[in-house]
Structure 1
Amino acid sequence: MSHDGVGLRAVMRSVAFLTAGVLAVPALGGCGSKDPAGRPLAGQDIAVAARAQVADGGTMRWAVDAVPETLNTFQADADATTTRVAQAVLPSMYRLNAAGRPEINSDYLETAEVVDTEPRQVVLYKLNQQAVWSDGREIGAADFAAQWRALSGKDSAYWTARNAGYDRIERIERGSNDLEVKVTFARTYADWRSLFSPLYPKEVMGTPDTFNDGARTKLKVTGGPFTVEKADRKAHEVVLARNPRWWGRPAKLNRIVLRAVPREERSAALAAGTLDLAEIDPADIRRITLASRSGAGSPLRSTAGASASPEDDSKAESPSADASGSADETAAEESASAEESAGGEDSGGDVESGDPEANGAPEAGGAQAAPTIQALEIRKSLEAAFTQLALNGSSGPLADERVRRAVARALDRKKLAEAVLKPLGLPAVPVGSHLALSGQAAYADNSGALGDQDAEEAQALLADAGWVPGGPVEETKKEKAAGPEKGTEKPADEDDGTYIVGEDDGANADTADNKAPTDAELKDGKQQEIQQGGGVPGAYAPRGTAAPAGAPSRPLAKDGKLLTLRFVLPSGPGSSSLHTVADRISRMLVRIGIRTEMKKVPDESYFKDHIAAGEFDLALYSWPASAFPATDARPVYAKPVPAADGSVTVEQNYTRVGTDQVDQLFDQAVATLDQEESRDLVRKADARIWAAAGSIPLYQRPQLTAARENLANAGAFGLATPIYEDMGFLKKGARAAAGPSPS
């Protein structure tokens, strides 16, 4: 579930509240108070270069997860590559800046404003007079109207995945001339800037057949700096070519090839010079660094501050499939590599290139030089998505709000963020909102509505819910099958990947952030000094040693049942970071007496068969952040609604926790044109979502890319929409700006 190229309006993945009256909701910003939105935690890292320094021509080969099933972003099977193609070849009235906020796109719009509010909201778009489709026809009202009719939800023949906002439009008509589009709303809509981004031509939106099937593998008419030359599933690539009718700044590249390359194969492809840009995992950094260390040249360098520190070079986590190999191990490898190669300086950016079409670089006018491992660098930022702990409130112990709040109060979110982000040299700041990220207009840290980590308060909440230490416990079949030795975290069933954390009384449990040594590492019952994961020598005691004060609590029981929560995780090779975070969460829960049954399942069934089906108690997955949370986040936190057949409609609220009050706040936020009022209502909704403890935001997802060092204006885009026409290869002797761009 990569979030590459999150667009203006994030597509919510379907792959990722009971209000406590006793909890105080923090005061929200009012007139004269400091804006709590702040700044982005990390800027873009894209090797910024002026267009004059970028050569004309060349082909950039960019790794993607898959060739998309459809090129229509409004269909259910659209994916991140669909979004990437749409950003490059279709009009967008607005795009996101480095702070994740919408800005007018002057290539398509001169102005867009609300010109009337009574009796109806009316928005007038004044189009760029040069804006035309690739067939030469002017972009105009007919295209806007066709998209509205297709997405309004009134015609079920259109197989649309979403219609939010379009269903509030009453009519669309031509303004005073062909360059004006007048949109009249039946109901006031605060997030009107989210509409028509992307905008498809009427040839796609005009009929159900062209909408449903015509744009799945081809886009004959486009309106961006690039066109779709071909989408070839057999060749595993989508080829975008420079649009000769583009009226804006000419694209620097001749072509962009979006090539489907499995993550485990990307390091080899980068080393071989068959890719120029790829999102990678920490294990890839280790492989690339080791490859560079074994040959001539210096190790892979990071543009985000060259350093031998293990906090500088590591990885980006993938939401449902994290990188193999821990971040700590990766950092250690890189640090060692850097130290061993301390005598060599990186060459900088003067990589000569041969044939621009064959090697993905502009013509250098000299002999061809095959891309080498030393010609790569790491670009890193924080992407427009966050990882959360989801608590299923539909059944079991977590149906009790007090138990959910206890779980939340047991977590040290700062330590969890540090475990993932600190080794990467990225800001290890816990996310304070479900609805926006730092820097975005709606952001405010509302975690105070739930409270900070407090083990005593967590235990008090559990006691109030009837969960107490000790007492008679009915032993289950699974527990009987776990084997004679308990508390070792050895899988009870090697085949299904299930094991219990906190299975014994806690006396022999490990410390919070470290794994216990094996028997081979303990000699004659004496403590062996071990250091791993940031621990200190002497952190482990021999088995049987009495637990010190503050160690894990005795397991809790109620009505003869132990308090055990099912923690479901993906098992794929890219899931290591999620496993690390889950392990630390489990150990934090052991300290308040909660056991976790860890179950690893295949990636392909993780969301469909477990998250969406509600077959979990605890789970880790990520959501993209939206610039329009009143619209886009509502289905994620809406109160589940009983259906006529007795089932429950949850939309994308996989935690099944919601309240009427949260829904009302979303409805109010989307129905006011006062932007400050709308932001305050969104922040109030977020505070109440925190109080209900259905999901706990943990950290903003890291974004890590490997790029040819002479590739400019591409890499880790952070919260911003990529600007495709500026991407390209540096002219010989030119250099990009060092380090991340300011946010």
Structure 2
Amino acid sequence: MSHDGVGPRAVTRSVAFLTAGVLAVPALAGCGSADPAGRPLAGQDIARADRARIADGGTLRWAVDSVPATLNTFQADADATTSRIAGAVLPSLYRMDGRGRPVRNADYLESAEVVETEPKQVVLYKLNQQAVWSDGREIGAADFAAQWRALSGKDTAYWTARNAGYDRIEKIERGKGNLEVRVTFSRPYADWRSLFTPLYPKDVMAAPDAFNDGARKKLKVTAGPFTVKKVDGKKDEVTLTRNVRWWGEPAKLSTIVLRSVPRDKRITALSAGTVDLAEIDPSAARRITVAALQRGTATPLAGPGAHRSAADALRSWAVANGSDEEAADEEISARAKLRRKTAKYARQQRALGGFEVRKSLEPAYTQLALNGAEGPLADERVRRAVARALDREAIAEAVLAPLGLPARPVGSHLALSGQAAYADNSGALGEQDTKEARALLADAGWVPGGPVEEKKDEEEQAAGAEGEEDSGNGAEDASDGGDDGTYIVGEDDESDEDEGDQGDEGDGGDDKAPRDSGTGTRNLQQGGAPGAYAPKGTAAPARAETAPVAKDGKALTLRFVLPSGPGSDTLRTVAGRISAMLERIGIRTEITKVDDESYFKDHIASGAYDLALYSWPATAFPATDARPVYAKPVPGADGSLNVEQNYTRVGTDQVDQLFDQAIATLDDSERRALIRKADSRIWAAAGSIPLYQRPQLTAAREDLANAGAFGFRTPVYEDMGFLKKSAQGPSGSPGRD
């Protein structure tokens, strides 16, 4: 999990100020006849092709964010690349389908089902008879048992990141033969399908030393279409090769090289031909799209110097050939530098013409997190005011519409559209409503235009007093841009709205008074405006809609923390829009940009923020994976607050109870109803506000098939490959199904 990406499913998605009865939770849509889960907003885009059209052999060079510190997905420092490698080389008993739901992987499982529920839950796995490890040994009960013991949490010598689900297993036995595995649970566990994926060989799991160190840089025994050949830290790459003992459909590619390439260097790597597949940001996607449109043209339409007009060019020539030798030398040097940049850009664009952008939506969403541990956001009314001020549709539109992706705000914290547990429960909090947001702030004591304490020295105070004595009429003060502290009672002040708050719900007043053309301030000539004059010091009424709200002499200002690294442009754009929306209800924000490396550790995890943007994955097992994210923080033995992964510090006992009920409910429909009910309560607490499903943009060689923007679906590594020449279209691109 991170602000610009999400971690593997193996990494667990992991104070209360919601007053019972304050918010009415709407009837759950899941209780009706219509399925509220809906359909995925976007399908995968992988240039799907039949295996017969794909050439045998070849090397796929795939850009990744990092070479992983460990190949063990159950360790704390595992990352997305760890999971990608595990998916290619280790057994996955279940894969995600195009709707983000688990489906049995027939390469490993003939069947898996709950065969007993009383007195205890028993799951019987029947393994594929051909399933073997790369050393020739059958996959069997011994591997299941070793993984359970390592991850159960009973032996602290194992450095495990999580034990969810494994801690509910009582015993593991062989069935009628070695290819049958009986798993008996001490307590009911609904998400049993989440277990043993990936499955490691007993060699890795049987002893703490092997678990802790043996699988960090090497995996000697594997059981997937590929095997790990080498982890090269110097070259920043991991090499996977075909597994000769693989019993399924043989891998089309002979080699996959996972190469670490920073996000801001990927255009260079693609154009240089050192990678064939890479996730990219919107600016890189635009370059590749333009390159495809301009294929065959001599000169790119964009790039360095493209914005220069004919007058700019003429002026540059004149300076370069002028009598001022020093200025001419500088201009000649600048012109030469521009020519080099232009030539490099043109070469890159020609090379990028052989790539295309494949796009979908990630199984992850970006949220606005509100730190409810302390400060103004500790008050649930303020959190709800922030939430009600947000136009989530406009934010989703700003991010996704320019990319040609469906722009719909996310309606659940626990699933995404198309997944079984999804339902739009945002109604538990309410739709965007500026008036209601202001009313919530007022109820919490934050008054628009309220007095704010200011430190002034004696000279400033004296100057102010002298100014009051010397002041003339209101018109003179207005024309000078001053403020004599006098307000007109019962009038609407439209000047603020004209200056940046247009479109908000106003008070409906019809102001015909003249305005000062220089400042846009009302010209308060004596007798020129209706209403009574309030005495100096009277708080501004709510008519000043964008005036900062204040309480106890302090304005309401929230710390908005953002990452500053490459690829954070979208988050900064979103933050700017959120700040503008909050300003309309009188909340100011102070945006602080911090290094990516310190963003989570020093700010989000430590609680040094009021507002923040980051992403969470949506898994097929929310009762297990989402509980640590929304569990009510509890004091630890040392007095510190144990927040797990609930970085907003907002939780309720009721949400915890609903998760506990869901995880123990084996009936699918009942469990979904409980998950949706928990989500409604999470919405009502307003600790985090889901905004939009993250865009997934991937640059891929045009002749690369079955790879790209995977969406929900688990990649099928053995089907990836390069099209045969006869299967390519006239431009070298694959024919699309």
Q: What TM-score range do you get, normalising by the shorter chain?
A: 0.7 to 0.9
- CA-to-partner distance for each residue in 1:177-200, whole Å, 9 max, x for gaps? 111000000000000000000000
What are the within-5 Å matches in structure 2 for residues 38-187 of structure 1?
Answer: 38-187=38-187
What is aligned with 1:545? 520
Cα distance, 1:282 vs. partner?
1.9
Shift of 1:552: 4.8
The answer to whether the Cα contact below 8 Å between 1:567 and 1:596 also exists between their aligned partners in 2 is yes
Q: Quickly say closer, same or farther: Cα 1:27–1:385, change in 2 above 3 A.
A: same
Question: Any idea what the Cα deviations from partners look like across 1:598-648, whole Å, max 9, x if unmatched?
Answer: 111111111001000000110000001110000000000000001222210
Q: In the alignment, is residue 221 of structure 1 matched against residue 221 of structure 2?
A: yes
Structure-1 residue corresponding to 2:425: 446
Structure 1 residues 578-597: aligned runs within 5 Å: 578-597=571-590
Q: CA RMSD in A?
A: 2.8
> How many residues get paired?
619
* SS of structure 1 residue aligned to 2:615: strand
The residue that corresponds to 2:650 in the other structure is 657
SS at match of 1:372: helix
CA drift of 1:264 comes to 1.2
Partner of 1:561: 554
Identity percentage over the alignment?
A: 74
Code of the residue aligned with 1:127 in structure 2: it is L
Q: For residues 692 and 734 of structure 1, what CA distance do their matches in structure 2 show?
A: 55
The answer on whether the counterparts of 1:120 and 1:184 sit within 8 Å (CA) in structure 2 is yes
Could you say which residue in structure 2 is the equivalent of 1:383?
362
Match for 1:544: what amino acid? Answer: T
Partner residue in 2 for 1:353? none
Residue 295 of structure 2 contacts residue 353 of structure 2 at CA under 8 Å; is this kept in 1?
no
In the alignment, which of 694, 718, 721 is matched to residue 701 of structure 1? 694
TM-score normalized by structure 1? Answer: 0.79
Distance (whole Å) between structure 2 residues aligned to residue 566 and residue 509 of structure 1: 25
1:419 equivalenced with 2:412 (yes/no): no
Superposed counterparts of 1:307-706, under 5 Å: 372-475=351-454, 510=500, 544-545=519-520, 552-706=545-699
Partners in 1 of 2:87 and 2:290 — Cα distance? 36
Letter in 1 for 2:590: E
Moved more, 552-561 or 93-102: 552-561
In the aligned structure 1, how far is the partner of 2:245 from the partner of 2:6? 24
Question: Which whole-Å CA distance do the structure 1 matches of 2:30 and 2:411 have between them?
Answer: 19
Q: Compared with structure 1, are the counterparts of its residues 555 and 634 closer, same or farther at alpha carbon in structure 2 (3 Å cutoff)? A: same
Equivalent position amino acid for 2:726 in 1: G
Q: Quote how far apart the aligned CAs of 1:542 are.
A: 9.2
Kindly name which structure, 1 or 2, has the bigger radius of gyration based on alpha carbons. 2
Contact 2:417 2:423 in 1 (8 A): yes
Which runs of 5 or more structure 1 residues have no equivalent in the other structure? 301-307, 309-328, 334-369, 478-504, 514-540
Q: Which amino acid aligns with 2:412?
A: S
Q: Judge conservation of contact 2:31–2:673 (CA < 8 Å) in 1.
A: no
Match of 1:710 among 678, 703, 711: 703
**Cα contact 1:10–1:626 (8 A) shared by 2:** no
In structure 2, distance between residues paired with 1:559 and 1:739: 67
When residues 210 and 261 of structure 1 are mapped into structure 2, their CA distance, relative to the original with a 3 A threshold, is: same
**Equivalent residues of 1:509, 1:552 under 8 A apart:** no
Tell me the equivalent position of 2:714: 721
CA distance in 2, matches of 1:581, 1:80: 25
The offset of 1:283, in angstroms, is 2.2
CA distance in 2, matches of 1:460, 1:243: 64
The structure in which a higher percent of residues are helix is 2
Assess if the C-alpha contact under 8 Å between 2:413 and 2:690 holds in 1: yes
Q: How has the CA–CA distance of structure 1 residues 10 and 171 changed in structure 2, closer, same or farther, with 3 Å as cutoff?
A: closer
CA distance in structure 2 between the partners assigned to 1:184 and 1:160 by the alignment: 22
TM-score, length of structure 2 as denominator length: 0.80
Alignment CA distance shift 1:686-1:429 (3 Å): same
CA distance in 2, matches of 1:734, 1:52: 9
Aligned residue type for 1:464: D
Partner of 2:321: none
Cα 1:4–1:595 shift into 2, 3 Å = closer
Q: Is the 8 A contact 1:409 1:457 kept in 2?
A: yes
Q: Is the 8 A contact 1:165 1:191 kept in 2?
A: yes
Shift of 1:470: 2.3
User: 1:463 is matched by which residue type in structure 2?
Assistant: A
CA contact (8 A) 2:545 2:586 kept: yes
Query: Any residues of structure 2 matched to 1:727-738 within 5 Å, and which?
Result: 727-735=720-728
In the other structure, the counterpart of 2:206 is: 206
Amino acid at match of 2:630: Y
Q: 1:728 to 1:552 in 2, by over 3 A?
A: farther
2:62 counterpart SS class:
strand
What amino acid sits opposite 1:67 in the alignment? V
Given that residues 121 and 186 in structure 2 are in contact (C-alpha distance below 8 angstroms), is that contact kept between their aligned partners in structure 1? yes
Q: Output one character per residue of 1:686-730: Cα deviation in whole Å (capped at 9) or x when no partner.
A: 000000100000000000000000000000000111000000000
Amino acid at match of 1:99: R
Superimposed CA distance per residue, residues 528-574 of structure 1 (whole angstroms, 9 cap, x where no aligned partner): xxxxxxxxxxxxx9983359x99852111111110111111111122
Q: Distance between the aligned counterparts of 2:259 and 2:582, measured in 1?
A: 42
Larger mean CA deviation between 601-610 and 124-133 belongs to 601-610
Q: Distance in 2 between matches of 1:567 and 1:166?
A: 38
Please state how far the C-alpha of 1:292 moved relative to its aligned partner.
6.4
- Provide the rounded CA distance (Å) in 2 between the counterparts of 1:371 and 1:249: 37
AA matched with 1:100: G
User: Match for residue 255 of structure 1?
Assistant: 255
C-alpha spacing 1:292/1:437, structure 2 compared with 1 (3 Å): closer
The alpha-carbon deviation at position 274 of structure 1 amounts to 1.1
SS at match of 2:616: strand
Counterpart CA distance in 1 for 2:30 and 2:618 is 24
Residue deviations 1:1-55 (CA, integer Å, cap 9, x gap): 4877965x363478xx625523221211456611100100000000000001111
Change (3 A) 1:550 1:172: farther
CA contact 2:452–2:554 (8 Å) conserved in 1: yes
Structure 2 unaligned runs (5+)? 307-348, 457-494, 504-515, 523-541
For 2:298 and 2:496, the matched residues in 1 are separated by 48
Q: Tell me the secondary structure at the aligned position of residue 565 of structure 2.
A: coil
Shift of 1:296: 3.3
Q: Is the 8 A contact 1:148 1:169 kept in 2?
A: yes
- Of the structure 1 ranges 549-558 and 198-207, higher mean CA displacement relative to structure 2 is found in 549-558
**What is the letter of the counterpart of residue 391 of structure 1?**
L
Q: 1:140 to 1:546 in 2, by over 3 A?
A: farther
What displacement does 1:273 show? 1.3
TM-superposition CA deviations, 1:459-491 (whole Å, max 9, x none): 1111110010223312379xxxxxxxxxxxxxx
The whole-number CA distance in structure 2 between the counterparts of 1:42 and 1:187 is: 37
Distance of 1:626 and 1:431 partners within structure 2: 14
Q: Are the counterparts in 2 of residues 430 and 699 from structure 1 also a CA contact under 8 Å?
A: yes
Change (3 A) 1:508 1:597: farther
The SS at the match of 2:558 is: strand
* Distance in 2 separating the partners of 1:739 and 1:553: 55
Q: CA 1:197–1:2 in 2, change beyond 3 Å: closer, same or farther?
A: farther
